[in-house]
Structure 1
Amino acid sequence: MHLRAGPRRGDTAAQTGPKLGVVAETQRVQLPNGIGLTVSDQGEGPVVLLNPGMGMPQTTWQFTGVPQGLLEAGFRVISYSARGVTGSDAPPPPYDVPTMAQDAALLLDHCGVDEAILVGYSMGCYVTQALLELRPGLARGVVLCAGLASSEIGRLVNEMELELIERLGELPAAVAAFETLITTLPTAQLQDAETVRVWKDMLLNGPASWTSPDGRHGQLAASQSWMVAGEPTRERLAAIEAPTLVIAYEQDLFFPPKTSLAAAEMIPNAQFVAVNGLAHGGLMLDPDRTATVRIVDFCRRIRSGDRPTRGRA
């Protein structure tokens, strides 16, 4: 899924997304591996690192309410645009998940962080898991939202997009818009003509999410290589020692609750939450901020030394 910030409430009668919070100031950070990233580093207190989804600019986090909630709760929040996304560098493809996790690790080094709560959304869950392996002992807690275990639909979409890029040199805009629409919005919104028109216009005419075609190709290749390798494996999940919160959305075609729950049950100390009525874009589009509230509460509990019990939360 290629993420952009959705239309804001009040923009149209469709009212398809939550209001934008205060946009965080960003800086450009040059990593020792030569990659430049757009980064936001705000607040004081225990660190929470936000690992983004595929094609997800750093600013999109503002639509989730997660940074605001964490800042108000007394956390230091670090977020970034990953390699390939607008504002950051896009080296030639392919990329892979361990390399993207290395970017995140080097960013934490730059920020002087050796302990953090890791929050991943969508493909950011892959990066979070690889980061756990790369930096043992880093994580005080882990949140894996809408990205723990991909479905066959997710694999099929990746294969389709990579084949189109190989044949045409880039992914046609209409194809990318359709794929984003069909997976981001819940069924009720997909059946509303005005909502679809607003999103179509935003996706086709709004600001680009990608630094370049290389960026899109690179991240798609990283996602596909993770899936083809059978990740996450049972062994990888069983090795997660930190308290973990897994969140899934009822209508998520890419990471449905069934596969997410099965994977969560392999993590020794994981809580599982299913959010009804929303699809893959639920973190941005939920007017009740269900997942956001859960994430902030989980981080508070980790800070207090509480270890949430395993099972459904």
Structure 2
Amino acid sequence: MTDDRTEMIDVGDDVRIAACRTGDGPAVLLSAGLGMPAATWQFSGLPAALVDAGFSVVTYSARGVSPSSAPPAPYSVHDIAADAAEVLDHYGVDEAVIVGYSMGCYVSQALLDVWGGTVRGLAMVAGLRSSTIGVVVNRMELELIETFGHVPASVSLFEQLMTTPSPSILKDDTQVANWRAMLDGASDEAWTSIDGLHGCTRASYDWMSAGEPTVERLEAITCPTLVVGFGDDVYFPATGSAEAASHIPNATWTLLDGPGHGGLIFDPEHRATAAVTEFCRSL
């Protein structure tokens, strides 16, 4: 699924990033999670809600994610953020609200380091303070890639089943079977090549292993900030993200009970979408 307005933007070093800008008004940049093509945002309803609220929305697929280029690994979070900065510059954006989901929260923080424009506000959904489970999963994937050259589809499916829905869904075998049918093969289709999976996973693992975000990084975020956590998120447990948010000087913490890590897209009430849209309106 690719938006027909998508264009390939040359960000240097023979890397081209697939990006799209829709709507009119102040810009909002959406930085997606690990292996999440830009078109996936549509399932959250967030781009449409923001456009309806009077914003223009910039989405992009990170390097390594289809259909963007996949240069050889490794990548860093700051490499991905630099690509996003080039996308903003391409569209002539010099002031924006930055929204991140999951790993996109890492990229959003790194954008504060590498982009020369003004960040009016920062919203981070299910991605501020990672868990030991996140580190273990990334390390497992890296070992599989570096040993066998790929991550078996059954492994990717199991990871997604165990982390994306809420625990209550995992107790219902009928719902698990439905999720299996929905998720099966999605991970393989997300990547431009194995270099993309390797590079982005390495970037994620290195960020977490370095203890990011550090207290110093969080304290340096001075713009208005919204942090959203999901009550049953095992990748980014609410307690850790709430503690991290407490170090951001101008942050609002919002806990949404019930959803697992996939709550941005799969919460039937789309509460995270509503919270982010209202935050953007408030700036």
Normalized against structure 1, the TM-score is what?
Answer: 0.87
Q: In structure 2, what is the equivalent of residue 139 of structure 1?
A: 119
Please state whether the residue corresponding to 1:31 is helix, strand or coil: strand
Q: Percent identity?
A: 50
SS in 1 for 2:272: helix
3-state SS of paired residue (2:163): helix
Question: Which of 224, 229, 232 is residue 251 of structure 1 equivalent to?
Answer: 232
Number of the residue aligned with 1:200: 180
Tell me how far apart the structure 2 counterparts of residues 170 and 101 of structure 1 sit (CA, whole Å). Answer: 25
Residue equivalent to 1:157: 137
Any gaps of 5 or more consecutive residues in structure 1?
A: 6-21, 303-313
Corresponding position of 2:39: 59
SS, match of residue 79 in structure 1: strand
Aligned counterparts of 2:228 and 2:182: Cα–Cα separation in 1:
27
After TM superposition, give the deviation of residue 138 of structure 1 in Å.
Answer: 2.1
| Partner deviation per Cα, 1:189-232 (whole Å, 9 max, x = no partner) | 22222322233233334571111111111110000110111100
Q: 2: CA distance between counterparts of 1:24 and 1:289?
A: 25
Q: Is the 8 A contact 1:250 1:275 kept in 2?
A: yes
Task: Pick the aligned partner of 1:291 from 256, 272, 276.
Answer: 272
Structure 1 residues 29 and 67: alpha-carbon distance in aligned structure 2, compared to 1, 3 A threshold = same
Counterpart contact for 1:47–1:77, Cα < 8 Å: yes
Q: How does 1:42-53 map to 2 (within 5 A)?
A: 42-53=22-33
Match of 1:214 among 195, 200, 206: 195
Equivalent residue pairs, number = 282
In the alignment, what sits opposite 1:174? 154
Aligned equivalents of 1:205 and 1:105: distance in 2? 31
Aligned to 2:81: 101
Residue 236 of structure 2 corresponds to residue 265 of structure 1: no
Q: Structure 2: which 5+ residue stretches go unaligned?
A: none
Secondary structure of 2:269's counterpart equals coil
> Structure 2: which amino acid aligns with 1:210?
W
Q: Give the match's secondary structure for 1:182.
A: helix
Check whether the contact 2:153–2:185 (CA below 8 A) recurs between aligned residues.
no
Tell me if structure 2 keeps the 8 A contact 1:23–1:62: no
2:41 and 2:153 map into 1 onto residues whose CA distance is 23
1:165 shift after superposition: 1.3
Question: Residue 248 of structure 1: SS of its match in structure 2?
Answer: strand
Shift of 1:137: 5.4
Q: Do the aligned partners of 2:29 and 2:57 also contact (CA within 8 Å) in 1?
A: yes
Q: Report the Cα offset of residue 140 of structure 1.
A: 0.2
* Cα distance, 1:30 vs structure 2: 1.8
Matched residue type, 1:277: G
Structure 1 ranges of 4+ moved more than 4 A: none
2 CA distance for matches of 1:287 and 1:204? Answer: 21
RMSD, aligned α-carbons: 1.6
2:96 to 106, 116, 137: 116
Over 3 Å counting, the alpha-carbon distance change for 1:230 and 1:72 in structure 2 is same
Give the CA deviation at 1:161. Answer: 1.2
Q: In the alignment, is residue 87 of structure 1 matched against residue 57 of structure 2? A: no
Task: Letter of the 1:161 partner, please give it.
Answer: E
Q: Shift of the alpha carbon at 1:259?
A: 0.3
Q: State the partner residue of 1:230.
A: 211
Q: Quick one: distance in 1 between partners of 2:117 and 2:23?
A: 23
Q: Secondary structure of 1:86's match?
A: coil
Q: Aligned equivalents of 2:39 and 2:179: distance in 1?
A: 18
